[in-house]
A = this chain, B = another copy of it.
Amino acid sequence: MSLLSKTALLATAATLAAGAALAGSHSAENPAVKARKAHMQLYSHNIGILAGMARGNTEYNADAAVAAASNLADLSHINEASYWVEGTDSESIEGTRALPALFANMGDVQAKIDQLNAASVALSETAGNGLEAVQAGLGPIGQVCGACHDAYRVPNN
């Protein structure tokens, strides 16, 4: 999907999020915020599996490494237009660390997501070759995660 059509989606996402709230939300938390936090949780889960191996905290397992990297590729292929709804930045609502700059730079955000996808696809193709391949392939993934967080997330205290 082009960036232009992603932008068009954003314009209607606020309305659409109301549908999500009807179907799935069990709390008052904004449904778009809930969805993006869930998405980040799944990134964290799969990166954690790979990082655990890379750091020697868990034993290298080829199938599990390939699965985690493939999962990162699937996750970074997801269309996030319904997550980044106008009016859900950290200066507009409670409970989010998404800076207003994110919403003003959706093209750059999507470019970073595409970088993450490329790095994840690459790792999914090498992660079965051994621990060193996992360690090498995690570098570009960590870099793009950090670049997006540095630019668009409220800093850690």
Chain A residues with CB under 8 Å of chain B are 1, 5, 8-9, 12-13, 15-25, 31, 34-35, 37-39, 41-42, 44-53, 55, 57-59, 61, 63-64, 67-68, 70-71, 74-75, 77-79, 81-82
**Can you pick out 27 interface pairs between chain A and chain B where the beta carbons lie within 8 Å of each other?**
A5-B63, A8-B63, A12-B61, A12-B64, A13-B64, A16-B52, A16-B53, A19-B55, A20-B45, A20-B46, A20-B48, A22-B48, A22-B52, A22-B57, A23-B47, A24-B41, A35-B41, A35-B42, A38-B38, A38-B39, A38-B45, A45-B82, A64-B82, A67-B82, A74-B74, A74-B75, A74-B77
Shortest distance between the CB of A109 and any CB in chain B (Å): 16
